Amino acid sequence: MRTYAGHSTPAESNALYRRNLAKGQTGLSVAFDLPTQTGYDADAELAAGEVGKVGVPIAHRGDLARLFEGIPLAEMNTSMTINATAMWLLALYQVVAEEQGADPARLAGTTQNDIIKEYLSRGTYAFPPGPSLRLTTDTIAYTVGAMPKWNPINICSYHLQEAGAEPVQEIAYALSTAITVLDAVRDSGQVPPERFDRVVGRISFFVNAGVRFVEELCKMRAFTRLWDEITRERYGVTDEAARRFRYGVQVNSLGLTEAQPENNVARIVLEMLAVTLSKDARARAVQLPAWNEALGLPRPWDQQWSLRLQQVLAFESDLLEYGDLFDGSHVVEAKVDELVDAAKAEMSRIEQMGGIVPAVESGYLKAQLVSAHAERRARIEAGEQIVVGVNRFQETEPNPLTADLEAAIQTVDPAVEQAAAEAIRKWRAERDETAVGLALKRLREDAANPDVNLMPASLDCAKAGVTTGEWAAALREVFGEFRAPTGVAAAAVGAQVSPELAALREQVREVGEKRGRRPRMLVGKPGLDGHSNGAEQIAVRARDAGFEVVYQGIRLTPAQIAAAAVAEDVDVVGLSVLSGSHLRIVPDVLRLLAEAGAADLPVVVGGIIPEADADVLLRQGVKAVFTPRDYDLTAILGKVLSLVA
């Protein structure tokens, strides 16, 4: 039982962890901030506005030591949601544990280390897919020998569902990723054939559980059946324990609503039941979001509520006392068979493309997810898919939980970023630069040799005091950088056009005729926030409404967005910010547009933005602010068009 936590500083996060452990939490699940996840230090240009927002910033071994101060790592099971920089954070973790006196062979926990889904959903990749797969492979090969209790990879389908994946896609893409990783480890020659079952046995999964209870329960049974088949037939694993589908789950955050957020508690409980009721496909670890995550950063009390939900189920109910309740159910078996057959067909299609990496690089997978998400949005807007409190049953009594919204969520002090930047400059000034230079030199040389495992060089860097940004920059020099396909251009949505969209198309056509060209919209994703679902859906709907759309993908600086807006001669700029960095990033875009002579260009913003912050942005010159409460994309674009017209 654990909650996903971390914010602001290592010291504040340490205090939060110790409180959670005292309340009965049985492990730690560490959330890192976006600079740490993507390989930047707190004083990097792209880190502006993102430090400490969605997790804890970790720049070097000193930060990680402070994060776990007073927490004996030899006795702890620690899950780290880290992917592009997973090898680096694991190296820091090992060094800090050794400083505590722990034997690395005793360390237990998980590095997520699933880079594939980063190109499809969260966007926290740092290097191209090929070199990233090498980092994953090297980490797995290292831990099999040196850290046998560690789960070196956690194939994560959670974010695939967040990006729009239907159950068949979630199963197929996750298992195709696992196959690619296992093939890479096997083919690397770093693990002897007789020990390969240890690799299979240490792979775990992190799965999403949505609100469609029966479908989600059957999805987990399908996952279990397919994984047993793949590991037995493709890899020849005879040990049943090694073939077990071991998974943890975070229940769905995509379905959490800003409108009537108290309804989220019922959703969370129902989703938790979907991954616990079926004993033969039961999650080994569950972490629950907080009821108010659609509003902002949850407080410790909100996280406690989610922890108590699990404890009531485990210790008050009799759920864990019986065998599988669904064995022999014709309904469940038929649905599982349907999911298995469809997932196999999609996995075969991916294999014909050459595997998961070519399927990512070609843009096929991203386009499939964007299309699926667009169809889901269309069903909600049409009322075909009911979301209580959003598109039906909107009448509500005043909510005492959100009466004081500023007190209903936690905020990160803007001074955190400045303090982190100053601290990292102080760290650099006080370390042994000769040792740092030698460690980075070895890292670059080893990276240039595909036959060398990069974990030993990373451990040298950790001990020498290298920073996260320096480690990643050294590898970028060798591996290069990558911009993932957006999936927008190739996204296909249903042929049926709603009356509202048809009316908007006519309005767009009329505005275009008056102006002598179609209205042109730039959709921008500033900063390191890689959750691009909202931006992609706006871009697809704007395209389908007749706008010309400029969308360059994620991870742009305010200067790049302002320059693109001027160069493309757009009529409106739409910024999507979900990481809480809006008050830092959006004013920068406004200022740079004004300096470029485009002060009158209307700017609108969408994201998880508290009402008080929205008022600030509007006073600064933003023309409109949209939040998850504004679920109707066609209506949003109608308001955007009025600004252009």
In this prediction the pTM is 0.88
Beta partners for residue 205, in sequence order: 155, 247
Q: What average pLDDT score do residues 161-166 get?
A: 91
Q: According to the model, what pLDDT value does residue 494 have?
A: 63
Q: According to the model, what pLDDT value does residue 580 have?
A: 81
- For the four alpha carbons of 601, 602, 608 and 609, in that order, the dihedral sign comes to positive
Q: According to the model, what pLDDT value does residue 285 have?
A: 81
Pick from 298, 391, 371, 299: nearest CA to 629: 391
β-strand 203-209 against 247-251: which pairing, if any? parallel
pLDDT in tens, 506-526: 999 999 999 999 999 999 999
Q: According to the model, what pLDDT value does residue 252 have?
A: 81
pLDDT higher than threshold 60 for residue 495:
no
**Contact residues for 256 (Cβ-Cβ < 8 A; gap 6+):** 264, 267, 289, 291, 293, 294
Q: Collapsing DSSP states into helix, strand and coil, what is residue 202?
A: helix
Helix, strand, coil percent content, the chain, rounded in steps of 5: 55, 10, 35
pLDDT in tens, 337-352: 999 999 999 999 999 9
Per the model's pLDDT, the better-predicted residue between 1 and 271 turns out to be 271
Encoded tokens for 554: 């994620």
pLDDT higher than threshold 90 for residue 119:
yes
CA–CA separation, 117 and 489 (whole Å): 20
pLDDT higher than threshold 90 for residue 162:
no
The number of residues in the chain equals 645
pLDDT band at 1; cut points 50, 70, 90: low
Q: What average pLDDT score do residues 590-606 get?
A: 97
pLDDT in tens, 524-556: 999 898 888 899 999 999 999 999 999 999 999
- 126 class by beta-carbon count within 10 Å (0-12 exposed, 13-18 middle, 19+ buried): buried
Q: What average pLDDT score do residues 391-398 get?
A: 89
Q: According to the model, what pLDDT value does residue 139 have?
A: 98
The separation between CA 8 and the C-alpha centre of its own chain, rounded to angstroms, equals 18
For the chain, the distance separating the N- and C-terminal CA atoms, rounded to the nearest angstrom, is 53
pLDDT in tens, 285-321: 888 888 888 787 788 888 889 889 999 999 999 999 9
Q: According to the model, what pLDDT value does residue 231 have?
A: 97
Which amino acid appears at position 233 of this protein?
E
DSSP string, 9-25: -HHHHHHHHHHHHHTT-
β-strand 203-209 against 520-524: which pairing, if any? unpaired
pLDDT in tens, 429-478: 999 999 999 999 999 999 999 999 999 999 999 999 999 999 999 999 99
**Contact residues for 109 (Cβ-Cβ < 8 A; gap 6+):** 27, 76, 77, 78, 79, 80, 93, 150, 151
Q: According to the model, what pLDDT value does residue 406 have?
A: 66
Q: What average pLDDT score do residues 13-36 get?
A: 89
- Among residues of the chain, what percentage have pLDDT more than 70? 98
Per the model's pLDDT, the better-predicted residue between 234 and 24 turns out to be 234
Highest mean predicted confidence (pLDDT) among 136-145, 368-377, 388-397: 136-145
CA–CA separation, 85 and 103 (whole Å): 23
Q: According to the model, what pLDDT value does residue 343 have?
A: 98
Per the model's pLDDT, the better-predicted residue between 387 and 406 turns out to be 387
User: What mean pLDDT value characterizes the chain?
Assistant: 92
Contact 50, 25 (CB under 8 A): no
CA–CA separation, 472 and 461 (whole Å): 11
Q: According to the model, what pLDDT value does residue 205 have?
A: 93
Pick from 108, 96, 89: nearest CA to 31: 89
pLDDT band at 407; cut points 50, 70, 90: low
pLDDT higher than threshold 90 for residue 179:
yes
Contact 7, 291 (CB under 8 A): no
Q: What average pLDDT score do residues 468-497 get?
A: 87
Q: According to the model, what pLDDT value does residue 356 have?
A: 95
Q: According to the model, what pLDDT value does residue 411 have?
A: 66
CA–CA separation, 39 and 33 (whole Å): 10
Q: Which residues are catalytic?
A: 4, 158-159, 525, 529, 531
Q: According to the model, what pLDDT value does residue 3 have?
A: 64
pLDDT in tens, 205-223: 999 999 999 999 999 999 9
pLDDT in tens, 107-118: 999 999 999 999
Contact 307, 3 (CB under 8 A): yes
Q: According to the model, what pLDDT value does residue 93 have?
A: 98
